[in-house]
Chain A
């Protein structure tokens, strides 16, 4: 029998919840930044909208269709960056990326990311890393006003 604990690292309750009921899953009329992310090989697709207010991200939202990891990642990302400065958002991007892709990343580094630490387990599922990072790369593109759609494949 499959022990759910085997998948605990990936499908934690929080992630499942965000995957099922994503927060900030909406359009953002009047968005000052917008970017598209698409992983064609796996089918994850996300559009990230941000409302920039001076140097701060006043609002962030996303739409799209994707797997539970991608959706949950986008949901938590928009929660976490709202109200942060653009610089803080960039740091969160670096921290998240490091936590998920760097074999040497530590538990302390993960915990410093607050609720994003739930994604630390994705490291053990290399094929799914790109699902988790797609929304973040798309956010970065929205901040940088990149025109070309982003992909993490």
Chain B
């Protein structure tokens, strides 16, 4: 082919990415055919947990059928297979986050454990009375309580950066709260209660300028936005498998190599050691230093399969579809008289939290449930957010790659039914 023609074609007519075919995608998710109270399931609770494609279910099934064995220590064939699959999953996570090395990818039980690990292993040995830990008002309890615990243990103080009435972080206030006393900053990438996407790259830069180390809670982010931990310059990044179309019981902590090297172990036990005597025990290298005991092997492999699945669909296509759903859903809900959206940041993930003036979120949830619609009601493990918006709870619909506009229509009809009951 003529080289000039080729380059001309490439620069003047890029091939558009075909949009996600949601009906095709739905075929991969067996649970979407389930019926609830005699109606088709309309699953809009993805911020709580995602459903799993058969590719993930099959990977776990195959592992237990063909390869199940304890890893890392066995010489026999099955053990080698299991180890190889598990470590391959670790490498998938590494590439998913664009981390430099698999040594920086630690498997944990989930985001919550990852944050506790950093709080206890990084922060606790270092924090002194008078030091500060900075979080934001929109954090999930899992990114609040571990810091409260470590502050109590060390005499450090917890500071909280405020949010505005749209659910946006007040970045000026965040910057003002960064002082030479701030040693650790921990922020969510995406808020589970409000959907707000934080400008984490900027927040990391500000925190680094103040000399603080930054952990990013990526639990709600990784299914929806591409994450490049090196580009973000994150010191720590945490996420859970089960929100990313993978199994429960496994998650990830990414950390800078130098930081992880310097940290003492989080839990002691088998696998995280090099040698043990009663006189002295030496610890294993990264990442194993932080992986005590037999891990959730099937879970890790399932997470790897989920990452493969998401990669095949394409995170950019998923994000584009979810944005369409968010726009469609926002417009539809905003048009319901008596409905108030909570969380209206400019930059949002596909989460719609709302309250109705005629009915408490519980009652909304129960009536929608009877119509087969699954949403979440309550404080979403973010009581401070509820207090900030002066509501006891919200109803929350959250979307994933397999949700449709028809489902949003059903949600709106369901809300109309709630209003009818309570009129």
Contact = CB atoms under 8 A, between A and B. Distances in A.
Interface of A: 2, 4, 6-7, 10-11, 16, 19-20, 40-45, 65-69, 125, 127-128, 131
A129 B335 CA distance: 33
Contacts of A11: 363, 367, 421
A4 B421 contact: yes
A19 B386 CA distance: 22
19 contacts: A2-B367, A2-B370, A6-B37, A6-B370, A7-B366, A7-B367, A10-B366, A11-B363, A40-B383, A43-B361, A43-B378, A43-B379, A44-B362, A66-B392, A67-B360, A68-B359, A68-B360, A68-B363, A127-B366
A128 B362 contact: yes
B359 A41 contact: no
B393 interface: yes
Interface of B: 37, 359-363, 366-367, 370-371, 377-379, 383, 386, 391-393, 414, 417, 421-422
A50 B328 CA distance: 50
Contact of A43 (B359, B366, B392, B421): B392
A40 B392 CA distance: 9
Contacts of B393: 42-43
A131 B362 contact: yes
Contacts of B363: 11, 19, 67-69
A131 B365 CA distance: 13
Contacts of B359: 68
Given A6-B370, A68-B362, 10 more contacts: A2-B371, A7-B366, A7-B367, A7-B370, A40-B379, A43-B361, A43-B378, A43-B391, A45-B392, A127-B366
B411 to A, nearest CB: 13
A65 B414 CA distance: 24
Given A42-B362, A43-B386, A43-B392, A7 B378 contact: no
A128 B392 contact: no
A7 B369 CA distance: 11
Q: Interface of chain B, helix or strand or loop or mixed? A: helix
B392 A44 contact: yes
A66 to B, nearest CB: 7
Nearest to B372: A2
Given A16-B422, A42-B378, A66 B370 contact: no
Contacts of A43: 360-362, 378-379, 386, 391-393
B391 to A, nearest CB: 8
B85 to A, nearest CB: 38
Nearest to B38: A6
A135 to B, nearest CB: 14
A69 B362 contact: yes
A71 to B, nearest CB: 8
B421 A66 contact: no
Interface centre among A10, A68, A125, by most chain B C-beta atoms within 10 angstroms, is: A68
Contacts of A131: 362
A66 B360 contact: yes
Contacts of A68: 359-360, 362-363, 422
Contacts of A6: 37, 370
Contacts of B362: 42-44, 67-69, 128, 131
Interface centre among B363, B371, B391, by most chain A C-beta atoms within 10 angstroms, is: B363
A40 B417 CA distance: 27
B379 A41 contact: yes
Contacts of A127: 366
A117 B422 CA distance: 21
Nearest to B377: A42
A16 to B, nearest CB: 7
Nearest to A127: B366
A69 B359 CA distance: 11
Contacts of B386: 43
A2 to B, nearest CB: 5
B422 A20 contact: yes
A7 B360 contact: no
Contacts of A65: 392
A69 B422 CA distance: 12
Contacts of B421: 4, 7, 11, 16
